[in-house]
Structure 1
Amino acid sequence: MEMLQQAVEVESLPYVFQDAITIARRLGIYYLWIDSLCIKQDEDLRDWKVESESMGRIYASACLNISATWSVNLGDNLLGKRTCVTMAASPIEIDMGNLTRTYYAFDGDLWSDEFDFGPLNYRGWVFQERYLARRVVHFGQSQMAWECKEGRALEMFPDGLPRLLGQHPKFECTWATVQLTSQQPAQSKVLEFARDWQNLLENYCRCDFSFPRDKLMALKGISTQIAMNRPGDFYLAGAWKSTVLFDLSWHRHESERKEYPIANTYERAPSWSWASVDGSVQFPLAQETLSNLLERYAEVEGLAGHGIVIDDKFVTTGTIRLRASCIPLNLQLSEDNDITGFHGAGFQFSTTKGPFRSAIYFECTNEVLFSLSRSGKLLLIPLFSTSHSIYGIIVQKVRGVGEHRRVGAVRITLMAITGDLQEPGGNNDIMEMDLDHRISHMDHFSEKWSISAIIFSHYLTQQKPGSRCINIS
């Protein structure tokens, strides 16, 4: 520490740091922040706990963010040797009869392959550093790139990206710039905010962390910026009070649940929070960008909790108070103990193949799940419906009056798009395609509605079965 306070010998630093210093000097910038040099690397994390609170502000206030996007380790160079060939589109001459014309060809996935999918952008802490920064200069494999809120450019296209590469500016946080002017914002604004937030979380959850304990802390800069523009809202454990009803039905695919068992992380955040798990997480509104909200079957009456530190682990506790229908849930199992369907309140839904198949996702192991099912401790709580589906969560009763934990999520299909599609494999179900593929084939398909799901929705709205207040922690 005493040596560093006197001077830093540049030649002794890793090549990436040396190049960053060179860039700052050439630009006439006198102050350079490098995390591992500016934060004490002490084992008890005392300095890190203090500085991590300011990370979002540091990157949001900086003049320029230098991104070593394709540097795998500190021994790599930012300013390495390159050839002009990699920075220019390839000329191609095409002879059309007596007319010869020259065209320029380039990879249509250049931006995503070179920068969005760069190793650095898969690191969890880099997520907010990139999106909060005013300006970012990326150092890729073949060229540099520029990214700010007004545009994006490459050395190949210094005046801006052509349409085929996308002309969107740096991810502009609409959820951060839209002011929440009242305690009861317009429903359309709530849904817009919920979609933006869920899309952001899906991208964030794909990132990796050296220490999974940092998952909520590394998002704090973004949440703090949003909170400044939404004074009437409340943030806790990765959710906002105004939109938490739409966030609760997140889920993970089976492969993610097996690779990152919740038993290793469930104490990190409340069971209802996506931050209680590791790996990729899917959210309902992020997937249904073309859907409209049809009904709300539950209401959030309260959201309370706080963050604490236990044995150098950052833990967030929190409870959601819901007024909702609590329907006893029963599972249908095959001879191999695979879930083939579920039923509750006299309604039955299948999870097997078919246009109206529903989906059910559990975070607990099958042994725990079957035990809860046999003992009658599982409850289905419908939350809301969109043009395509009814979404809900599954909770288990725990000790205490009205106390529950979230153990899974459910999606009940309201509307399916079906038709004939001649493709290898004989797939004729458009619901299995990605969104762009669906839209391009819309003329060949028709909408079909599930009568049982429509009646179930009407039943929830009119009868409100088992409606009461419960706490989920």
Structure 2
Amino acid sequence: MQDSLSDWEQEASLMADVYRGSLCNLAATGSSHANEGCYYERRAPVRPNIITTAWVDTPNQEFLLSDNNFWAGIFENDPLRQRAWVVQELLLSPRILHLGKRQMIWECYQSSLCELYPGRVPKFIGRIPKKLPLERMIFEKGEDGNDYPVFSWSNLVHSYTSCNLTNPGDKLIALSGIAKLLQESTQDEYLAGLWKKHLPSQLLWESESDQAGPLITAKTYRAPSWSWACVDGRISCPSWKRQCLFINILEASVEPAGFDRTGAVKSGLVRLTGPLTTIELEEMKQYNAQSQYRFRFRTSSNEWHDSAVICKPSSLVNPNELHCLAVNKRTAEGYRDYDCLLLMPTKSTQGQFYRWGLLELGSEDEIHDFHNSETHEWLQYEKSHGQGIYTISIV
């Protein structure tokens, strides 16, 4: 029903059933907009060439000249695949016939084919991504033997946030179909783009290295600051194994904006305990999505640790006084890193913060001074547990 918001919300929440229950999905993959249609004037597919050498020592040798990026060249970069709404449609549909500008492509759980190779794509073309049922594509076996959407969910978020979304308010709604199925299968709780059982590590999302420019915070509220859905830009979610988590999640919840609990939200809260200190930050240089900052800890001997670091802001606000929360320790041979969240107070409730960005402490001096820092008088917290451990909340 056109121009009916309630009908749209109802139907949008059913997209998982629509696409997963389809027999075959016809995709206008080569079209940029609705008026282009599905059929194009196309050049005949170019087959791999046989090259015969004329070398003096070894004449008349035959080599097959083919393009290892063949599949991506005819398919992956077409306009439809750049649209965010289509990400879940392509994942959920069991069979897809792509009508592209170069060739027609067939995808199902048994094979991927094209007009040039209608029977079988030869091995010399290179690896062709195989369409998998959503459960096999997303799940990863955890240490307790259960399946969790960890590593592949990270890949999915990166692919999804790399696509274009006409209406930014659809950020969570356009992914709700996949979220529903995963929530049912894992019995995990979906929280505005993150998963509760793995929330401590998933809070450490950041701008992807190929992100052009800074992340842009949404003009109108669509997710809490601790969710990647509150910003626009390419997102990288951590997928490595957590080695030592410093924080303990006490409470995590979101309030849906409508009846769909995996769709749009109107509020969200994470309440936790962890090591917290104050930090002074001054921007020095900017490299695309990354900025180099000079940061300072005040040590217990009233001295200053001064160092230059790379920060990844998720906010365009540029405060110089922040709170630094150590979330995770990564260790490897010869070094250890701390992954920290940088937070700024909401100034509405004591001990309540917005997520500002991400900071990595990589030197022994930085880590030592973090643990021995003398906090400023503007330190905020809900409750102190001693030894630098506090209870706070992030909204």
TM-score strictly above 0.5: yes
Q: Pairwise CA RMSD of aligned residues?
A: 3.5
Distance 2:248 2:391 in 1: 9
Conserved 8 A contact 1:321-1:469: yes
- Corresponding residue for residue 362 of structure 1: 313
- Whether 1:138 and 2:82 are equivalent positions in the alignment is no
- Whether 1:67 and 2:11 are equivalent positions in the alignment is no
The superposition leaves residues 182-237 of structure 1 with CA deviations (integer Å, 9 ceiling, x where unpaired) of: xxx636868x7322211110110011111111110000010011011112x11111
Conserved 8 A contact 1:153-1:161: no
Which residue type is aligned with residue 340 of structure 1? Y
- Corresponding residue for residue 380 of structure 1: 324
Q: Return the offset for 1:335.
A: 11
Which residue type is aligned with residue 469 of structure 1? T
- Whether 1:471 and 2:393 are equivalent positions in the alignment is yes
TM-score by length of 1: 0.68
- Corresponding residue for residue 217 of structure 2: 262
Distance 2:138 2:68 in 1: 31
Larger relative contact order (Cα-Cα within 8 Å, sequence gap ≥ 6): 2
- Corresponding residue for residue 358 of structure 2: 409
The 5 Å alignment of 1:137-176 reads: 137-157=97-117, 158-160=119-121, 162=123, 164-170=125-131, 173=134
Q: Return the offset for 1:464.
A: 8.1
TM-score by length of 2: 0.80
- CA shift in 2, pair 1:326/1:171, >3 Å: farther
- CA shift in 2, pair 1:330/1:218, >3 Å: same
Distance 2:306 2:70 in 1: 44
- Whether 1:229 and 2:185 are equivalent positions in the alignment is yes
Q: Return the offset for 1:263.
A: 5.5
Conserved 8 A contact 2:139-2:152: no
Please give the secondary structure, in 2, of the residue aligned with 1:264.
coil
| Number of residue-to-residue matches in the alignment | 366
Structure 1 portions without partners, runs of 5+: 1-39, 286-290, 352-357, 414-449
Conserved 8 A contact 1:175-1:196: no
Distance 2:274 2:386 in 1: 8
- Larger mean CA deviation between 201-210 and 384-393 belongs to 384-393
Distance 2:331 2:123 in 1: 35
Distance 1:459 1:69 in 2: 57
The superposition leaves residues 312-331 of structure 1 with CA deviations (integer Å, 9 ceiling, x where unpaired) of: x9443111111211111222
For 2:247, which of 298, 318, 329 is the aligned residue? 298
- Corresponding residue for residue 416 of structure 1: none
- CA shift in 2, pair 1:103/1:412, >3 Å: same
* Sequence identity (%): 23
For 2:344, which of 368, 380, 396 is the aligned residue? 396
Distance 2:160 2:108 in 1: 19
Please give the secondary structure, in 1, of the residue aligned with 2:182.
helix
Q: Return the offset for 1:54.
A: 0.8
The 5 Å alignment of 1:139-288 reads: 139-157=99-117, 158-160=119-121, 162=123, 164-170=125-131, 173=134, 178=139, 186=143, 193-231=149-187, 233-252=188-207, 261-262=216-217, 264-265=219-220, 267-285=221-239
- Corresponding residue for residue 51 of structure 1: 11
Q: Return the offset for 1:257.
A: 8.9
Please give the secondary structure, in 1, of the residue aligned with 2:391.
strand
Conserved 8 A contact 2:281-2:319: no
